[in-house]
Amino acid sequence: MNAFTIKDLENLSGIKAHTIRIWEQRYSFLRPQRTTTNIRYYTNEELKIVLNIALLNKYGYKISHIDKMSSAEVREKIVSLSHAEAQQERLVNDLLQYMIDLDLEKFEDLLDNYIQAKGIDKVISFLIFPFLDKIGILWQASHIHPAQEHVVTNIIRQKLIVGIECVVSHITVNKKVILFLPEGEYHELGLLYTYYLLKSRGVQVIYLGANVPFHDLEFITSYKQPDYLYTHLTCIAGNFNFEKFLTKIHQHAPQVQIIVSGQLTNCNMKKLPAGVLLKRSLSEVMEFIAAL
């Protein structure tokens, strides 16, 4: 069983921690446990409850009415939501719940059914990336078990690779991009999604993958002379220093534009080296790719 903080619930549901505390006081659906140091924590089931209630509340149901519903009634109301954004949020929440429960068959079935109905392009943009965006902060904070991360990562990785293989672009952009993750970074899904977006745009991509030693990156960069070096940083263990990492790349390839996206772009940095651009959201990444 996972133990989630009130901040986790806030990040995953969009409901402010202050509001969650008020819900605890007024209604019966949340009963957090406490650690020996009196810090709240929430179970898998309580996370699911908050996600469901937040979704219904967002689309017009009062909390006092939701509190009186049975679990079956809550689910029925959620499934009946017809708004496209509500359907997306419901499916992303389902993926999250299947991951937490390690219900891998349902997790993959949901993706496969959506691929069959809408195509791989839609499942990547409509479900996979929003799912990754939502749970990335949990991975970074190590608030889910590594096994949960590994199994769903491999399922999504397979879908992304199929999507990349199936891409046919009707335009060609005369730009070359090297995609890589530095040593110690193994969270490859964001980089694979970027590969998919770039290939869809007709950009030439050299994909190095995860955990790339710096001397390998230096060799390939020198040999291939790319227009851009692109990395997506989610969570790197150990004594990784973001600023030193960027400075070192710039010193060895001063003529190449360096693009960085992912969770770590939100950390505080005193000064960016020249030639480095941070893309802090999916919309910023897509604007960059569209402008190539």
The tens-digit pLDDT sequence of the chain (292 residues) is 578 889 989 988 999 999 999 998 888 888 888 888 888 888 888 889 999 999 999 999 999 999 899 989 999 999 999 889 999 999 999 999 999 899 999 999 999 999 999 988 888 888 988 888 787 767 666 677 888 888 998 999 999 999 899 888 999 999 999 999 999 998 898 899 999 999 999 999 999 999 999 999 999 999 999 999 999 988 777 678 888 888 999 999 999 999 999 878 877 677 788 889 999 888 899 999 999 9
**Is the C-alpha dihedral spanning 217, 133, 137, 93 positive or negative?**
negative
Largest CA distance in the chain: 65
Q: Where in the chain are all domains bearing CATH 1.10.1240.10?
A: 82-166
Q: Where in the chain are all domains bearing CATH 3.40.50.280?
A: 168-291
Residue 222: the pLDDT is: 95
CATH fold of 1-51+63-79: Multidrug-efflux Transporter Regulator; Chain: A; Domain 2 (1.10.1660)
Residue 1: the pLDDT is: 56
Residues in a beta bridge with 277: 259
Specify the CATH number of the domain 168-291: 3.40.50.280
At 177-187, the pLDDT tens digits run 999 999 999 88
Whole-number Å distance between alpha carbons of 31 and 50 = 11
Residue 155: the pLDDT is: 95
Specify the CATH number of the domain 82-166: 1.10.1240.10
Q: Where in the chain are all domains bearing CATH 1.10.1660.10?
A: 1-51+63-79
Residue 217: the pLDDT is: 96
Whole-number Å distance between alpha carbons of 58 and 80 = 14
Torsion angle defined by CA atoms of residues 244, 245, 249 and 254, in that order, rounded to the nearest 10 degrees:
-40
DSSP string spanning 98-163?
A: HHHHT-HHHHHHHHHHHHHHH-HHHHIIIIIHHHHHHHHHHHHHT-S-HHHHHHHHHHHHHHHHHH
- Global pTM reads 0.78
**Closest by CA position to 233, among listed 261, 205, 194:** 261
* CA dist list (Å): 251 to 177, 184, 244: 18, 21, 10
Angle CA 14–46–135, to nearest 5: 45
Whole-number Å distance between alpha carbons of 57 and 59 = 5
